Amino acid sequence: MIAWQDAPASLPEGERIYAIPDIHGALAKLRAMHAMIAADLEARPVERPLLIHLGDYIDKGPDSRGVVNHLIAGSPCAALHLRGNHEDMMLASLAGEPGAEADWLWCGGRATLLSWGGTEDSWTGLITERQRDFLDATTFWHQAGGYFFTHAGIRPGVPLDAQDPDDLMRIRGEFLNSDRDHGAVIVHGHTAGFDPVIRPNRICLDTAAWSGGSLTCGVFEADRLGFLRA
């Protein structure tokens, strides 16, 4: 049962959005969350459901490869996959950008190499074309009703349709500390805490699934907000 509360924004009638942040290789929690979403959809059908994965599918946790394969295989309803900074670092490494691999490994990429059975000297060939296509196809944001969904946040004062992808994937302090009206409530992950953070201008869903916390899914419908946790 979802415990509902008033939301700082709303969605049009007939729409429901499930938003999952920062999986970081936590495959068992992702499977459990998808099962919870499927059960909710069976119990409470809705005309236009959408599941948004907010990025950072890989790194740090034990089974990044399994998470990517699970997402490729499908989701409980129509789904969008946004790009986090960790996918961006992996893609830069695959493209051979100078210094990218060292940065990625330092930020948790070694766990991803292990999940693919690779080493620092031999790993790029283990990424299948389908897996690479999935990572390449990730996008940076989605807007619906009064919400703007992205991985990390937005640059305050910049129009939502003119945001720099690097900010969408990486920003913290200037965004987190801002109390200004951004034109929509920003739904994001990237900055972990024990519980979701709800502010008038933003909602953070990252609850550190890879390091002992739960995987949290925000459920948005009409003018209310609830959470599923696995």
pLDDT (0 to 100) of residue 122: 86
Could you read off the pLDDT of 178-188 as tens digits, one per residue?
Answer: 999 999 999 99
- The answer, yes or no, to whether residue 214 has pLDDT greater than 90, is yes
Whole-angstrom distance, CA of residue 103 vs CA of residue 107: 6
Tell which wins on pLDDT, 1 or 10.
10
Q: Which CATH architecture has domain 5-84+129-229?
A: 4-Layer Sandwich (3.60)
Q: Has residue 204 got a pLDDT over 90?
A: yes
- pLDDT over 90 (residue 120): no
DSSP secondary structure, 131-179, as one string: HHHHHHH-BSEEEETTEEEESS---TTS-GGG--HHHHHH--HHHHT--
Dihedral sign, Cα of residue 62, residue 65, residue 71, residue 74: negative
Tell me the β-bridge partners of 16: 49, 221
Q: Are 170 and 84 in contact (CB under 8 A)?
A: no
Q: What is the mean pLDDT of residues 44-71?
A: 98
Nearest one of 10, 6, 5, 2 to 221, comparing CA atoms = 10
State pTM to two decimals: 0.97
The maximal CA–CA distance of the chain, rounded, in angstroms, is 52
> How confident is the model over 158-198, as pLDDT tens digits?
999 999 999 999 999 999 999 999 999 999 999 999 999 99
Classify 110 as helix, strand or coil.
helix
Q: How far, in whole angstroms, is CA 53 from its chain's centroid?
A: 4
What pLDDT digit, counting tens, does each position of 128-156 carry? 999 999 999 999 999 999 999 999 999 99
Residue 3 pLDDT: 86
Whether 94 has a pLDDT exceeding 90, the answer reads yes
Model pLDDT, residue 1: 78
Backbone phi, psi, residue 14, to 5°: 90, -5
Domain range list for the chain? 5-84+129-229
